[in-house]
A and B are shown apart, each in its own frame.
Chain A
């Protein structure tokens, strides 16, 4: 059984195409990095807009989030790469990939941030207000520092999920891992070997990252210990929406 499995591998010519796979992996990592660089702050801005007081911003943010989350990422990529050129807006494949994934992930991250902010007990808002803090100071000094602790582990998971989702941009001919694998295997027909190696490369990066997130989760849980929440008859404790509730589906 095991020998049959091993016999399926055919490492002929691996020396020729392995550097290509490495280049593909590098592009997948670059995509992940660039998209997170945009989506992390953009998601936070969207979340702040959604919980803010401006009606227009609230509606705009909700609209953006719902449209993006309600349509497939692939469709968004197609739109940017194939439809926008009809309006004279052209991007090279890598840029189109970065923009598409950033749009997609910012919407999901916005919901993670929002859930983290909403999970802060209402008493914190009350105490900050009672000390004369403006909304802005309250957010900066009291709410966000606490929300970050709640939000870091899910954000880490989204990073990992994004690394895997970069494979989607193969559809707009970005030479990341999957696209590279398709090119190689369509010439040497070693589908099994090539795609198994690619799977191993994804795992090589995702698994340690997942361990790191798990470690962060534990650390944050210790730091986030709160004074016992007391239910007062006047101040309702804000609904503690589970951050897990926003898991990407």
Chain B
């Protein structure tokens, strides 16, 4: 479904992704964990071309986004192709990024109408069904600033779903939320996972990663250090770097008295 092969990415002299390879199968939920600055968000953003990669190949459904030319020069796909990829792979952001001048319904219908060419009526029907799914039917006519962070994030998920994406990328979607609002967003994501949505989730929510994901990827210093089934990776991490990270996270959770699982 999603395939990254030897991705390298530099911001100037700063090498943020080093030879990253990852395959995500259809209906698979992959959680990416790791310390901040480890490149996990950057990797996610490379999947739908929000960031240009320096070298490597990304394919979505077997269709490469980047190709190598013979002399090693990177050929960047045309803008149209990149837009088509983005329409197929949804993304949800840490800071929600709802459109403040549009109502909740318009936020959800704007792309289906103007990018996919759906009729307004059809798009609105889809939006209503999605709002019901994320539990916000009564907020259809509200503006984003009238919603709580958790509600805004649920609308953002509905907005991504309205494109009927093949996969959704979640970029630390609960990091900007007040602690008591995290649960409602994770519940929606859990329901999506149960329905068989392909998801790549960059998260600090270890409980979610352990309970919901099919596979956990641990990243540090721009590399994928370890990949495994959640119970394996969390209970018996093979790499020292992973052990250190999990230990520090557990300690912090204990200090904060937070339940490790939500």
- Count: A-B pairs, CB below 8 Å: 100
Say yes or no for B144: interface residue by CB 8 A criterion.
yes
**Interface membership of A226, Cβ < 8 A:** yes
Selected contact of B101 from candidates A131, A223, A230, A235, CB within 8 Å: A223
Is B86's CB under 8 angstroms from A131's CB?
yes
Q: Are B115 and A123 in touch, CB under 8 angstroms?
A: no
Give Cα A131 to B84, complex, Å. Answer: 9
Q: Which of A10-61 contact B (CB under 8 A)?
A: none
CB atoms of B111 and A146 under 8 A apart: no
What mask results when residues 103 to 114 of chain B are scored 1 for a CB within 8 Å of chain A, else 0? 000000011001
Most buried by B among A137, A141, A227: A227
How far is it, in angstroms, between the C-alpha of A145 and the C-alpha of B114 when the chains are bound?
A: 15
Q: B91, B114, B156: which has the most chain A beta carbons within 10 Å?
A: B114
Report the minimal beta-carbon distance from A6 to chain B, rounded to whole angstroms. Answer: 53
Q: Determine the distance from Cα of A233 to Cα of B16 in the docked complex, in whole angstroms.
A: 13
Instruction: For A225, list chain B residues within 8 Å (CB).
Output: 100, 143, 145
Q: Is B207 an interface residue (CB 8 A)?
A: no
Cβ of B200 within 8 Å of any chain A Cβ, yes or no, is no
- Complex contact A227–B152 (CB within 8 A): yes
CB contacts (< 8 Å) of B144 on chain A: these are 226-227
B134-155 Cβ-contact flags toward A at 8 Å (1 or 0): 0000000001110001001000
- Shortest CB distance A189–B (Å): 57
Are the CB atoms of A126 and B114 closer together than 8 Å? no
- As a 0/1 sequence over residues 119 to 133 of chain A, the CB contacts with chain B under 8 angstroms (1 = contact) are 001011011111111
Q: Quick one: closest A residue to B176, CB to CB?
A: A230
CA distance A228 to B98 in the complex (A): 11
A132 cross-chain contacts in B, Cβ below 8 A: 83-88, 111, 115, 163
Knowing that A130-B50, A132-B88, A133-B115 are A-B contacts, what are 14 other residue pairs whose CB atoms are under 8 Å apart, sorted by A's residue number? A123-B93, A127-B93, A127-B98, A131-B159, A133-B114, A134-B79, A134-B83, A137-B115, A146-B99, A223-B101, A226-B100, A227-B95, A227-B144, A235-B95
Q: What are 12 A-B interface contacts by the 8 Å CB criterion?
A: A124-B97, A127-B98, A130-B90, A130-B91, A131-B160, A132-B84, A132-B115, A133-B83, A142-B99, A146-B100, A225-B145, A230-B95
Q: Which residues of B contact A (CB under 8 A)?
A: 36-37, 41-42, 45, 48, 50, 79, 83-88, 90-91, 93-101, 110-111, 114-115, 143-145, 149, 152, 156, 159-160, 163, 171-172, 176
A residues at B contact (CB < 8 Å): 121, 123-124, 126-135, 137, 141-142, 145-146, 149, 223-230, 232-235
